[in-house]
Amino acid sequence: MFRVLACFFACVLAAESQDVTAICQKIAARYKSLDGYRIEGNFETYSGSGGGASSKFLIESDAKAQKLRVETPGLWVVSNGSSIWTYMPEQKKYSKVDAATDQASDQEEANSNDAALAMYRLVARAFASIDQRAAKTEMDREQDVKTADGKIRCWVMVSQFPDRTEKIWVDEERYLVLKSDVDLSKSHGETARVAFSIKRFDVRTPSDADFAFTPHSKDVLVDELDLPGQPAFVGRPAMDFELKDLDGQSARLSEMRGKVVVLDFWATWCGPCREELPTIDKLANRLKGQNVVFLGVNDEGASTVKSFNKKHNYSFTTLEDTHDKVHAAYRANAIPSVFVIAKDGTIVKHFVGGRSEEELLAAIHTAQGH
């Protein structure tokens, strides 16, 4: 009898484990298949030392057209597929870049301090790979979750990670995650939690109008925003670095003090970069004898860049950043990114996206008089 019971319970546990695995696979497949959606919900954080905070959020996505809208009380990110706006409603400031230049990898995006994109990853993006996560996941129970559309029956699943414990509530019919509660006490050494609950999850693709950004009359367009945890570059000392040029010669930024430095992050595949490079090369030659140095920063490898420069007859200096360390230090996920650095090493201008010759010259003249 004991052997029969042991076999029975072993089979039950195996079946339960398989159910959890299958559910995770279906969740991942569901999120990967979503062409568009609108999510309204509430986000909460709590720490033993800092108390708690709660805020509403809105996420809209048209995956096929690469359109996105994320709204939190202090920060919005809106993309219509060709442009990306980042907006701070309390400061009445916004920035705009060419969406085609945003080639950040998932890892780079994961390292971003942008609170709105962090919300997007937590609530939507993360579950597309839930079946690939290295965690022990178990079924806890079934429970109803109250939403704007009524009560929805959910599986409650618990995953154990080395640095956290995550509990999620999964819609049993749609395989969408309606609640999440992440306990970060393991890594923080004190009580720390991040949670969200979804009021409404509509899987219909929003209209094009939802991905438009229209600033108010008092809103101001700026080159960069001073985001929480991601301070603006302008007015701060440029971070020093040393890279080799395409011929293997080392160049250190700090050794160029006394000269204006135009630092241009670019790539051969980047359309806006290719449009701007003739102006960069023209100004580099024109200002060569005026204590102005143009430095391109590229991560594609010397042979690729040499061939490209030879084809277009570009002569400005390009430095190799094959491990993307300088890209990361200057947060150059969107390119072209241009930093104009004064003679004392202070960044006086930061452009994201292509700029005209007049705008670049004006920034250089500002740096020369700094």
So which residues are the catalytic ones? 270, 273
Give one word for 258, left, alpha or beta, with left for phi > 0 and alpha for psi -120 to 50: left
In order of 31, 246, 267, the CA distances from 25 in angstroms are 10, 46, 37
Which parts of 81-171 are beta strand (E)?
Answer: 83-88, 93-98, 136-147, 150-160, 165-171
Query: Is 25 in a helix, a strand, or coil?
Result: helix
User: Which residue type, as a one-letter code, is found at position 271?
Assistant: G
Beta bridge partners of 7: none
Nearest to 159 by CA among 183, 179, 177, 175: 183
Q: What is the DSSP letter of 354?
A: -
Query: Is 37 in a helix, a strand, or coil?
Result: strand
Helix axes 357-368, 271-286, angle to 10 degrees: 50
Helix axes 302-312, 271-286, angle to 10 degrees: 70
Question: Phi and psi of 101, rounded to 5°?
Answer: -90, -10
Nearest to 113 by CA among 216, 3, 227: 227
